[in-house]
Amino acid sequence: MAFLDYEYKMKISYSEPVDKCYFTIKAVPTDDFRQRNITYDIEMIPSTTFSESKDSFGNTQLIGCDNVPHSVFEFKIKGLVETHDLNISCGLEENRVGMYRHPHGKCIPGDCIKSFAEELKQEISDGDSEIQKCKKIMARLYEAMRYIPGSTVVETTAEEAFSKGEGVCQDYSHILICLLRMFHIPARYVCGLIVGEGQSHAWVEAACDGSYIAFDPTHNREITDEYIKLGVGRDALDCAINRGVMWGGGLQTQDIQVTVRKVH
Amino acid sequence: MKQQEQALLQHTDKINNLLARYGVKFGIYKNNVFKEQLFPFDSIPRVIEHSEFEMLERGLKQRVLALNLFLKDIYSEKKIVRDGVVPEDFIFASSGYLAECEGVMPVKGIYSHISGIDLVKGKDNTWYILEDNLRVPSGASYPMIARDLCRKSSPETFHNNKLVDNRDYADLLRHTMDYVNTGGHTVILTPGRYNAAYFEHSYLAEKTGAHLVTGSELFVENDYLYYISASGMKEKVGAVYRRISDEYLDPMNFNPESLIGIPHIYDVFRKGNVALINAPGNGVADDKGIYYFVPKMIQYYLNEEPILKNAPTYLPFYEEDMAYVLEHFDDLVLKDVAEAGGYGVVFGNTMTAKQKEDFITLLKAEPRRFIAQEVIDFQDLDILDEGEIVPRKADLRAFVLMAEEPMVWASGLTRFSRNPDSFIVNSSQGGGFKDTWVLYQ
């Protein structure tokens, strides 16, 4: 068990003023089997009223609209989460697990991923448990990819990243999701934070033996108590931390700072 | 033909001219160019006897009730999947299934407020359901205005024939919208002038007294939906008859690229603060694959025998059906479940050997993607073609509106193919339409 003290800061600067901006923010940690919110505080500049609700994937969403002209938008959440050193994150919702079985959005395999899956078939036996299958697939994916910051963009699909052979945590997760689904293991994308400083992180939950087991393909390991889950979905878009529609704004630059520390 | 109807025929050109003047047009995109074309009207009506309509009415109500219960079940408990009636793949792999709708209950539990059910009458005098349209079925305005113009040009026809007045559609629609209105204005949301059915949007708005709006006139504030009236006032909206598809409805919840949607409108709906007519996510129930299961849904949810038949349909997804399809390939029509509007439909007997071989390879690779149906030999209807009466294939789109209970409009859109060799009647493929008469007694 660990207590994690975290802060997520996002600052968007615009080259021209924004007259109006609708936002949906999914940055509040999930309460599940292996993690629990103790406290959290939210700050926004310009200061705006927003409402808190759940989306259809079970994520907390903050919804609102800034309608005073502004050229900088800042969002900050800080809080304390209790986590357990478990790879099991939660039970399956039997009614909804089916949505994580099929290709969707950024996780649609193309020729490269398909032929890789064919190769993997030789190495995976029917006797393997689902967890073993996940680990084997993750390990082979880890060998096949190179982690290169900035090599892909938010819009990059699993197939595009895999055909380049490089990417970041979002790409590793999208590719693993494609592969697991091809092996009939329902898999979903997780957006979250890990201990350290930098950016947000992404990993994968796979439905194995009646629970969701979390794998981090970027590090080729199962997750630990150093991970904070913020949201899940079929791909990155379903649980994007920030989604917005704005009027005006011109060019925008985004700066994200994440700090997560273990508290003793 | 009855003498009284002769009078109508003489007015065909006049009515078509009036329809053109009123802008009764259909927009289609050909090679990315928007073209408006007239929707040709044929003045010989389709006549449905009273007793026949009663049977259709019972069957259509039953079907729409079951489809609504199915949608409610799919986006919550999915009992029908758990009980093994519908295989899970037919839900989650359907392009009409929207995960974003899980656990969201529309106002009063109604999903399909306006259903357009397409039927044909076989030479055996049996009516068959061809497909259900539960997203934004269009077409009611055409028989509405055509009837109105026919009455004006030939009042004696309507004096002499005992037919049900169909001019109540606007009242039925208004009632349907009011029934789920959460308090506030009722609006009809159109993508705008360049939409195929723009005439219909404006006509229905005028007839129901709803405001015709585009996305830019609506906005969300503090979990409620508003529109800015002509006088600049901010007015609350309680019901939206939206004539834009699910994916473009809300860039914050569906396609982020949509420019015609309203950010957060779906979140207002999620909270029960506005009615969306029809509810998002209905595509999972009018998919051509799910069609096969509708008679089973009627038995499952209502514990009744289906009154109206489906066209005999095979699902290559099931091994025994695949075997049948391969054996009787030339007698069947094959349909891609993801396509609509008459696209993705091929007749087995029109393919060359090579085409057939390629198709069968595809069918075996993606069995869930296709359904196969017996070609129904449906009754021809007479149409007037350059002064001559000739038989042509025709179908009927019946409109079923859902409020406290389902209501079937005593009319409908009869579409016909102008090409004597074609079975495809869709207006996007150049067909025409007729008035549909339902007789008293």
Helix (H, G, I), strand (E, B) or coil at A136: helix
B311: Cα separation from own chain's centroid: 17
Name the closest residue on chain A to residue B76, using Cα atoms: A95
Residue with tokens 């898999």: A187
Of B91, B264, B270, which is closest to A22 when you measure between CB atoms?
B264
Query: What's residue B159's pLDDT?
Result: 85
- Beta-carbon separation of B92 and A24 below 8 A: no
Query: What's residue B416's pLDDT?
Result: 92
Query: What's residue B295's pLDDT?
Result: 97
Q: A–B: how many Cβ contacts below 8 A?
A: 60
Rounded CA gap, A100 and A113, in Å? Answer: 18
B211 Cα to chain A: minimum distance (Å): 25
Query: What's residue B197's pLDDT?
Result: 85
Query: What's residue B27's pLDDT?
Result: 65
A146 Cα to chain B: minimum distance (Å): 30
Of B92, B103, B271, which is closest to A102 when you measure between CB atoms?
B92
Helix (H, G, I), strand (E, B) or coil at A139: helix
Measured from the Cβ of residue B424, the count of other Cβ atoms closer than 10 Å reads 17
Residues of A in contact with B97 (CB under 8 A): 99
* Nearest by Cα to A227 from A110, A114, A82: A82
Residues B229-268: b if buried by 16+ CB within 10 A, e if exposed = eeeeeeeebbbbbbbbbbbbbbbbbbeeebebbbbbbbbb
Where along chain A do the CATH 3.10.620.30 domains lie? 88-233
- A95 in contact with chain B, both atoms CB, cutoff 8 A: yes
Helix (H, G, I), strand (E, B) or coil at A195: coil
What is the CATH T-level fold of the domain B312-374, as seen in this structure?
A: Dna Ligase; domain 1 (3.30.1490)
Name the closest residue on chain B to residue A155, using Cα atoms: B256
What is the CATH T-level fold of the domain A2-82+242-263, as seen in this structure?
A: Immunoglobulin-like (2.60.40)
Pair of tokens at residue B61 = 């109500």
- Beta-carbon separation of A22 and B252 below 8 A: yes
Name the closest residue on chain A to residue B261, using Cα atoms: A245
- Beta-carbon separation of B264 and A49 below 8 A: no
Q: Do the strands B185-189 and B234-242 form a parallel or antiparallel pair, or are they unpaired?
A: parallel
Query: What's residue B2's pLDDT?
Result: 57
Of A53, A65, A98, which is closest to B88 when you measure between CB atoms?
A98
- A93 in contact with chain B, both atoms CB, cutoff 8 A: no
Rounded CA gap, B7 and B27, in Å? Answer: 31
A84 Cα to chain B: minimum distance (Å): 29
B103 Cα to chain A: minimum distance (Å): 6
Rounded CA gap, B36 and B25, in Å? Answer: 6
The DSSP-derived string for A93-120 is -TTTGGGGSS-BTTB---HHHHHHHHHH
Query: What's residue B29's pLDDT?
Result: 62
- Beta-carbon separation of A51 and B223 below 8 A: yes
pLDDT in tens, A16-75: 999 999 999 999 999 998 999 999 999 999 888 899 999 999 999 999 999 899 999 999
Q: If residue B71 lies in a helix (H) or strand (E), which one and from where to where?
A: helix B50-74
Residues of A in contact with B99 (CB under 8 A): 56-57, 96, 99, 234, 238
Q: How many residues does chain A have?
A: 264
Residues of A in contact with B72 (CB under 8 A): none
- Beta-carbon separation of A95 and B76 below 8 A: yes
Above 0.90 for ipTM, yes or no?
yes
Of B88, B102, B222, which is closest to A56 when you measure between CB atoms?
B102
- A243 in contact with chain B, both atoms CB, cutoff 8 A: yes
What CATH number does domain A88-233 carry, 3.40.190.10, 3.90.1010.10, 3.20.20.70, 3.10.620.30?
3.10.620.30
Q: How many residues does chain B have?
A: 441
Query: What's residue B167's pLDDT?
Result: 87
* Nearest by Cα to A197 from A119, A113, A260, A108: A260
Query: What's residue B424's pLDDT?
Result: 65
A99 Cα to chain B: minimum distance (Å): 6
Q: At what angle do helices B3-10 and B12-21 cross, to 10 degrees?
A: 50
CB A6 within 8 A of CB A238: no
Of B78, B93, B223, which is closest to A95 when you measure between CB atoms?
B78
Measured from the Cβ of residue A248, the count of other Cβ atoms closer than 10 Å reads 14
- Beta-carbon separation of B222 and A243 below 8 A: no
Local confidence pLDDT in tens for the 264 residues of chain A? 899 999 999 999 999 999 999 999 999 999 998 999 999 999 999 888 899 999 999 999 999 999 899 999 999 999 999 999 888 877 788 889 999 999 999 999 999 999 999 999 999 988 899 999 999 999 999 999 999 999 999 999 999 999 999 999 999 999 999 999 999 999 999 999 999 999 999 999 999 988 999 999 999 999 999 999 999 999 999 999 999 999 988 899 999 999 999 997
Residues of B in contact with A65 (CB under 8 A): 220-221, 263-264
Name the closest residue on chain B to residue A102, using Cα atoms: B93
- A40 in contact with chain B, both atoms CB, cutoff 8 A: no
- Beta-carbon separation of B251 and A101 below 8 A: no
Helix (H, G, I), strand (E, B) or coil at B169: helix
- A221 in contact with chain B, both atoms CB, cutoff 8 A: no
Rounded CA gap, B215 and A83, in Å? Answer: 44
Query: What's residue A89's pLDDT?
Result: 78
CB B154 within 8 A of CB B11: yes
Enumerate residues 6+ apart whose C-beta is below 8 A from B78. A95, B91
Where along chain B do the CATH 3.30.1490.270 domains lie? 312-374
Compute the half-sphere exposure of residue B303: CA atoms within 13 Å on the CB side of its CA: 0
Of B77, B100, B264, which is closest to A56 when you measure between CB atoms?
B100
B71: Cα separation from own chain's centroid: 16
Q: Do the strands B234-242 and B275-277 form a parallel or antiparallel pair, or are they unpaired?
A: parallel
Rounded CA gap, B202 and A148, in Å? Answer: 54
A123 Cα to chain B: minimum distance (Å): 24
Interface of chain B against chain A, CB under 8 Å?
Answer: 76-78, 81-82, 88, 91-93, 97, 99-104, 220-223, 251-253, 256, 263-264, 267, 270-271
Residue with tokens 């339902």: B438
Residue B333 to residues B312, B328, B354, Cα–Cα distance (Å):
11, 10, 17
- Beta-carbon separation of B256 and A243 below 8 A: yes
Rounded CA gap, B139 and B35, in Å? Answer: 18
Residues of A in contact with B220 (CB under 8 A): 22, 65
Share of chain A above pLDDT 90, in %: 88
Q: Which residues of chain B have pLDDT under 50?
A: 1
